[in-house]
Structure 1
C-alpha cells in the first residue's frame, strides 16, 4: 500500500466555502486511485473560505506520474447543494514528487470535474490518452458555455448571455465587486449630492452654479481642470496626457479641406507653416469620423456633434498650443476657421465643440471599442479554444478577470436603447452604431501596438508626452515578460505553427473581433514565435495599461462638464463675433444631462476594493521554476517603473498617474 498526501486550498473568496462531501480521484500514467472522500479533522471547517486542509489517499501500488485529478462534490444528507471554489490541490507522491493542480473554478453541482497537473502542455505534446480526452472534453464544454453573439452588425461580436447570472461562475464578479458596483450605480447621484437635479431640463444660467454643483465631489486633478479649462496650453496638453491621447498626430502637410494660411496663425510673419511642419512642430487632430453622423435628440431637442479639425503648434517653450480650429469638414463661408485672435467666446466656443467631439471619440472609439470590446473578444476566444493546461491560458487568464460581466453591464446600462449614453450623449442613438462601425474599420494592428502607433503618428520627439513615455516603457516590460514565458515553451517557429489551439484562438479573434477584415493587419494565423509574442504583448497591454490610460481619468477630466461636454444644444456659430457667455451657456448640456454625466463618469472611474494591479497574480497557474522566475522579474521591473513615475510626478504641475503599474488594473474590470 502506498500513500499520497493531498493538500486542498479553498479560495479566500466570499461564498467559496462548502459543507458538502468532497471526493477525489488521482489519475496517473500507471493507474488511478479509487474515488475517496476527503475527511479532515477540521470537520465542517475543512473547506471554509481560505482554508488549507491535508488528507491521505491510499493506493495498492504507485500509479506513476500524476496526469490529472477528479473532484466531485455531493450534498450531505438534507443539506442543499452549495457551491465551492477550490483554489488548488497539491499532491505529494510516495516517491517524494510534488504535483500542483491549479483549479480556480467553481464546482456547483455533483458532476465530476477534471483538473490537469500544473505543468503547461501544448496540444501536440499532450501524449497521455486521459490527458487528451480531458483536454477535448474541457474545450467541448467551454464552447457550450461561451458562445458568440452579434450585438450589432459591423462591430466586434460579444458573449451570448441573458444576464450576469447566466455567465459561467468563473467569469462573474465577486460578491465584493457585485455589492460595490450595485451600490455605486444606485448611489451615484446621491453620493455626488445631485439627485434633486437629475430631472432638470433647465439650461445653466451662469458658471458659478456649475461650480456649486461640482464642489460636491472633487479630485486634485478635477479641481485643476476647473481652474484651467479655458487656457490654450491646457487644451493642447490634454491631447497628449488627457483621457484621449490617441487623436493627435504630426502634420507634414495640411489637409486640402483645412485652408489655414500663414497670415492666420503667425502674426507679423514671425514663422511659416511650411517651415514649422518641416521642423516637426505642427500637429493635427482630425475628427472626420463624425462627418455626416446623425446627432442625437435629447429631451425632444436636437443635439449637435461636429467633425472638427484642430491645428496645434509646439512653441519654443515646449507647449502645445491650438492655432486654428475648423468645426466642419467642408470649407465654406459659414464654416469659419477660428483663431486665438478671435473674440474670447468665439474661440472658447470653438474649443468647446472640439472637446465635445473628443468626448465622443474617446468614449466610443478609444475606450469602448479599442479596449472593452476587443478585450472581450480576446477573452471569449481564449475560453473557447485554449484549455487550462495550455501556457497561453495560464498567461492570459488573469487579464480577462471581470471583463465579460462588465461588458454585459456596459451594453445594458450605457449603450442599450434606454442606456445612459443612448439617452444623453450627442453621439448616442442612431449615430452611435455608425460611429462604432467606422471606428472598427479604422482600427489597424499597428494602432493597437504603442511603439508602432507612436511612430506612425510621428510623435517620437514631442516633449512632455507622458502617455507615450510610460506606455513605451510598460510595453517593453510586458514584451520581455511575454518573451520569457512563451520563449520557454516555444523554442522555434515550427512549434508555434503546429499548435492547433493557438491557431484556433487567433482565427477566432480575426473572425469575431475584426470581422475577417484582412486590411487590419491582424494575423489570421501564427507562423513565428516573435509574431506570437508581439500579439500577446498587445493583448495584455490593451487589457491593462491602455484601458487604464483611457479609463481612470474620466472623472478627472470630464467631471467639470465645460471641459468635456457630453452633448451640445446649439449649432456652432456660422460667423465670427456673435458668440457670448449667454451663447456658451445655452450651447452646453442642460442641468439634468450634466449631473447624470458627472454621476456616470464618477462610476466609471471608481476603483473597486478588490482591484488587482498589473503583475499581481493571486492565482498560481504556473508551477515550473523558470516561468515563476520570469513572473518575479516582471514584478520587479514594474516596481522600478512605478518608483520612477512617482519621482517624476513630484516635479509636474499635472501628475500623470494612469500608467503607474500600481494604478493599472490587470484586466478590463470597470
Structure 2
C-alpha cells in the first residue's frame, strides 16, 4: 500500500510543518536551573557561567529534518479493507528559517508528497519520530496546494516521542468537524483507533510519553510507608468518602496500605503538559521550588536558627512584609534569586530583605478591612462570594444527623438580632428578605474534635442584615464547639454581638476572625479546589476517551481543559498532599481534603449553573421581566450581577454552536460518542454520585447545551472568581487568616487580660503566625498571577481552530459580547450608588472582567483552570 505513489507524477502536495523542540518548551528541562544554572530574559537555559546549555536546542532542530516522517491518509479513497488509503513515507526537508507568522520559538519545515487523483483529499496523517533522545512539540501542519481543493490545516499541539514508544503510530486529523455518523467512511477506522489508543487498556504504570486517559481514586495523597502520621483515607469509591476521579497513573501500592499508591513522579498525559513558555509550567515550577527549596529554608530560619520570631507583635509588623520587608540571611536570598518565578514574587531590597507586593485590599486604606461593612461586602464581592444565602428560617437549623451529632440547632434568639435591625422585627426582616446567613456550622462541626487537637476553632454561623443602602451589616455571630461530653450530645455555643468600643470591640473583631478562618478554609478546599479543579477533571478524562478531536463537542470544550490535569497533579504532589502546603497552613490540617469529600456528598452538577445556584441559595427568584430572567434579592451583588452576564454569554455561544451540528433531539440521542461520553462521566468520572436523580439524561439538545455551559462556566468564570482574588484579599493575613490558635478569651484568664491590655497582640496570637503567613503569601501570589501567554474567555490559541466558518462567526460574536460586558462592569464600578462594587477598601470588583494583562491584576477570566 505504501507504494501507491511510486509512479512519476508532475503534481506535488507541499506542506509546512511547524514544531518546537523539547528544550524550548518543557519546564522539566529547566531542572538544570536547580543544578547551578539559571534562565536568561528570553527563557534560555544558561549554565552557571552564563553560557547556553549544550546547544541542545540548535542540535535538536538540525536533526529533525531527516529524522521525522509522515504518511498521508485519504479522506475520500479507501483500500480493500475499507480504510482510507495510506501514502508512502516522506521525510521532512530543510528547515525554513523565517516565517513571519510563527512565534519566536517555532521552527518550520517543508515536506512534499507526490499526489494523484486516485488518492483523493488527505484527511489525516501518520507521523514518526526516529530520534531516540529528542521529542518535540508538533504545533501544526498545513497543505496549501492540493489540486482543485482549498488548503488543508491540522492543528496538532502534541508531543511526539520516538515511534517505538507507541503501540500505534501517532495520527492527526484535519480541523474538520464531524458527528460520528457523518465521518467520511475512509476515516471511520482511524477515528475509532485513536480513541482506543487514548483509553489504553487500564493496566500498568503510565510512562512519561503516554497519552492514556483512565480513572482512579484519590489514593496518592498520603505516604504511610514513611510515617503512619502521613496516612490518609482513600477518597472516592465509597459512600463514606466519595470523590471525583483523577487520572490513573498505575504506580505500585504502598506496603502498609495496599489501597494507597506510592508517591513518586506524577503522571500527566503528555499533551496535558504543553510547556507554554511562561504559563503554568513556570508557575508550577515556582510552586515546586517553594515547597522543595524555599519553605524549608524559611522554617530553618524561624525555628532552627531563631533568626526571626514566629509571631507578629503588631499590625505594623505585618504591613512590613510589603513596606519594609523581612531581613533574611544571605544564603536564603541566594537560593531565591536564580529562580525567575520566585525572584519576581519576592521583591528584594539590597541583599538581605524579602518583600511582598502590597495586597490590593490595603493599597488605599490600611484599616478599612476591619469595618463591618467590608466584612459583609466580601461575602458578595470577595474571593468566596458563592456561599452566603438567604435566611429563611429562624433560628437556623442543622442538617447533621441528630443520631450522630445530637441537636445542633442554633441558640440565636430574636433579641440578639433585633437591636441591630433598624426597628424591624425578625419576622418582618425575614419576610422582607433582609436577613442572610454565612453558615459553616455543619461543614466544620463533624471535624472539630479532630481539628482542635492542634488548633482552637469554632464552627460558625453569621447573620447579616441588608441595609437600605444595599450593604450587608453583620448583626450576630454564633460560635459553636462540640459538647464537652462528646459531639453526640450536640453543640456548646455562644453568641457574639457587634461592638465598636472597648474590650467588646476586640471580642467582636476576634469573632469575625474566626468566621473568616472558616471561610478561608471552606473557600480553598471546597469553593476552589473541589468545586472547580477536582470536579472538572473527570470531564477532561471522559472527553479524551470518547469524543474524537473531529467531534464538535470536543472542539467546543477542549480550550477549557488546558493545563487542568497538569495543575491538579501538582496539587496532589505539593499542595493537598499529606503534610503539604494546605495541611500546614490551613485550619483543618490532616483533615483538609477529607472535609472536601464530605462536601462532595452534597455536590449537584445542575446546581453549578449560576442561575440555579443563586435560586438554590435564595438569592434570586425567577422573574421573566428581569434581566436574565432572574430578580436578585441583593441587587448590588457584584459576583452575581457580573456573573449572570458572563453565564448568559457562555450559554448563548454554546447554543449557537450546538445548533450547527444537532438539528433535533434525535441527533443527540443517536450520537454514539456523545452518549458514551456522558454515560462514563456519570458512571465513572463522578461514579460515587451516579445514582443521583439530578444528572441530565442527555436525550435532548437542551441537556447538551446546559451541560456544556456548566462545564465551561465552572472551568472559566467560576474558577476566575474564586482564584484570582486570593492574594489581593488574602495577601493581607489580618484580613483573611487561615488558622485559629485561641478561642475567645474568658474573663479572669491571662489571655483575657492580654486582650484588654494589647488588642492587636491578642488578635495576632489568635490567627496565622509568621511562618505559615510566609507560606500562604508565597503560594497564593503565584496562584493569583496571570501568565504572559494566558488565553482568555472568548479567545483561542489558534485562529482557525475549526474549518467550519459558521462556528468561527459564532465564536466571534461570543467574543464581541464579552467585550461589551467588560465595559458594563467598568460602568458599574464607577457608580457611587453601588456601594458593594468598591466598598470601604475602595477595591473595584473586577474578578469577572474578561481580559487582563499578565501578572497580579485582580481581573481576567482564563479559558481554563490553568493555575
Give TM-score, length-normalised by structure 2.
Answer: 0.71
Select 1:67's aligned residue among 101, 119, 123. Answer: 123
Residue pairs, 1:619-658, within 5 angstroms: 619=798, 620-651=800-831, 652=838, 653-658=842-847
Alpha-carbon displacement from aligned partner over 1:451-492 (angstroms, at most 9, x marks no partner): 111122122130321110111111111111111111101111
Q: Identify if the C-alpha distance between structure 1 residues 319 and 84 changes in structure 2 by more than 3 Å, giving closer, same or farther.
A: closer
Hey, what's the Cα distance between the residues in 1 that align with 2:748 and 2:472?
24
Q: Identify if the C-alpha distance between structure 1 residues 478 and 340 changes in structure 2 by more than 3 Å, giving closer, same or farther.
A: same
Q: Identify if the C-alpha distance between structure 1 residues 190 and 606 changes in structure 2 by more than 3 Å, giving closer, same or farther.
A: farther
User: Equivalent residue for 1:659?
Assistant: 848
Q: Equivalent residue of 2:738, what SS? A: coil
User: Equivalent residue for 1:243?
Assistant: 383
Q: Is the 8 A contact 1:252 1:277 kept in 2?
A: yes
Select 2:273's aligned residue among 172, 181, 199. Answer: 172
Mean Cα deviation higher: 64-73 or 587-596: 64-73
How many aligned residue pairs are there? 662
Q: Is the 8 A contact 2:138 2:159 kept in 1?
A: yes
Q: Is the 8 A contact 2:443 2:595 kept in 1?
A: yes
User: Equivalent residue for 1:210?
Assistant: 318
Mean Cα deviation higher: 554-563 or 157-166: 157-166
Q: Name stretches of at least 5 consecutive residues in structure 1 with no aligned partner.
A: none
Select 2:788's aligned residue among 597, 606, 609. Answer: 609
Q: Is the 8 A contact 1:450 1:472 kept in 2?
A: yes
Q: Identify if the C-alpha distance between structure 1 residues 86 and 208 changes in structure 2 by more than 3 Å, giving closer, same or farther.
A: closer
Q: Identify if the C-alpha distance between structure 1 residues 72 and 185 changes in structure 2 by more than 3 Å, giving closer, same or farther.
A: closer
Alpha-carbon displacement from aligned partner over 1:214-250 (angstroms, at most 9, x marks no partner): 4332133343575222110000001101111121111
Q: CA deviation at 1:37?
A: 2.3
Q: Identify if the C-alpha distance between structure 1 residues 487 and 2 changes in structure 2 by more than 3 Å, giving closer, same or farther.
A: farther
1:181 matches 2:227: no
Q: CA deviation at 1:158?
A: 0.6
Q: Is the 8 A contact 2:96 2:109 kept in 1?
A: no
Q: CA deviation at 1:6?
A: 3.2
Q: Equivalent residue of 1:478, what SS? A: helix
Q: CA deviation at 1:660?
A: 0.9
Mean Cα deviation higher: 130-139 or 322-331: 322-331
User: Equivalent residue for 2:198?
Assistant: 142
Alpha-carbon displacement from aligned partner over 1:33-88 (angstroms, at most 9, x marks no partner): 6324255454688999534555442234342343322222334xxx8544241323
Q: Identify if the C-alpha distance between structure 1 residues 453 and 60 changes in structure 2 by more than 3 Å, giving closer, same or farther.
A: closer
User: Equivalent residue for 2:141?
Assistant: 88
Q: Equivalent residue of 1:321, what SS? A: strand
Q: Is the 8 A contact 2:18 2:139 kept in 1?
A: yes
Hey, what's the Cα distance between the residues in 2 that align with 1:354 and 1:53?
60
User: Equivalent residue for 2:454?
Assistant: 302
Q: Is the 8 A contact 1:328 1:335 kept in 2?
A: yes
Q: Name stretches of at least 5 consecutive residues in structure 2 with no aligned partner.
A: 1-8, 27-60, 79-84, 201-211, 219-233, 236-241, 252-263, 324-354, 398-408, 484-489, 620-631, 832-837, 852-859
Q: CA deviation at 1:527?
A: 0.5
User: Equivalent residue for 2:640?
Assistant: 468
Hey, what's the Cα distance between the residues in 1 that align with 2:135 and 2:412?
69
Q: Equivalent residue of 2:686, what SS? A: coil
Hey, what's the Cα distance between the residues in 2 that align with 1:350 and 1:53?
65
Q: Is the 8 A contact 1:306 1:327 kept in 2?
A: yes
Residue pairs, 1:330-345, within 5 angstroms: 335-341=493-499, 343-345=504-506
Residue pairs, 1:80-479, within 5 angstroms: 80-110=133-163, 112-128=169-185, 130-144=186-200, 145-151=212-218, 152-153=234-235, 154-161=242-249, 166-174=267-275, 175-177=277-279, 178-183=281-286, 185-186=288-289, 199=303, 202-215=310-323, 216=355, 217-223=357-363, 226-254=366-394, 255-256=396-397, 257-267=409-419, 270-287=423-440, 288-294=442-448, 302-328=454-480, 335-341=493-499, 343-429=504-590, 431-459=591-619, 460-479=632-651
Residue pairs, 1:472-491, within 5 angstroms: 472-491=644-663
Q: Is the 8 A contact 1:84 1:108 kept in 2?
A: no
Q: Is the 8 A contact 1:116 1:131 kept in 2?
A: no
Q: Is the 8 A contact 2:155 2:175 kept in 1?
A: yes
Mean Cα deviation higher: 398-407 or 181-190: 181-190
Q: Identify if the C-alpha distance between structure 1 residues 411 and 347 changes in structure 2 by more than 3 Å, giving closer, same or farther.
A: same
Q: Is the 8 A contact 1:447 1:453 kept in 2?
A: yes
Q: Is the 8 A contact 1:243 1:554 kept in 2?
A: yes
Q: CA deviation at 1:251?
A: 1.1
Q: CA deviation at 1:147?
A: 1.9
Hey, what's the Cα distance between the residues in 1 that align with 2:528 and 2:518?
14
Q: Equivalent residue of 1:526, what SS? A: coil
Q: Identify if the C-alpha distance between structure 1 residues 276 and 96 changes in structure 2 by more than 3 Å, giving closer, same or farther.
A: same
Hey, what's the Cα distance between the residues in 1 that align with 2:217 and 2:492?
41
Hey, what's the Cα distance between the residues in 1 that align with 2:706 and 2:444?
32
Select 1:549's aligned residue among 712, 721, 726. Answer: 721
Q: CA deviation at 1:657?
A: 1.2
Q: Identify if the C-alpha distance between structure 1 residues 164 and 334 changes in structure 2 by more than 3 Å, giving closer, same or farther.
A: closer
Residue pairs, 1:554-565, within 5 angstroms: 554-565=726-737
User: Equivalent residue for 2:336?
Assistant: none
Q: CA deviation at 1:500?
A: 2.0
Q: Is the 8 A contact 2:451 2:588 kept in 1?
A: no
User: Equivalent residue for 2:770?
Assistant: 591
Hey, what's the Cα distance between the residues in 1 that align with 2:472 and 2:66?
65
Alpha-carbon displacement from aligned partner over 1:332-379 (angstroms, at most 9, x marks no partner): 996221111481111111111000000111011100000010121221
Q: Identify if the C-alpha distance between structure 1 residues 120 and 330 changes in structure 2 by more than 3 Å, giving closer, same or farther.
A: same
Q: CA deviation at 1:22?
A: 3.1
Q: Equivalent residue of 1:106, what SS? A: strand
Q: Equivalent residue of 2:659, what SS? A: helix
1:24 matches 2:204: no
Q: CA deviation at 1:263?
A: 2.8
Hey, what's the Cα distance between the residues in 1 that align with 2:265 and 2:862?
21
Q: Is the 8 A contact 2:456 2:742 kept in 1?
A: yes
Q: Equivalent residue of 1:335, what SS? A: strand
Hey, what's the Cα distance between the residues in 2 that align with 1:384 and 1:647?
44
Hey, what's the Cα distance between the residues in 2 that align with 1:545 and 1:198?
39
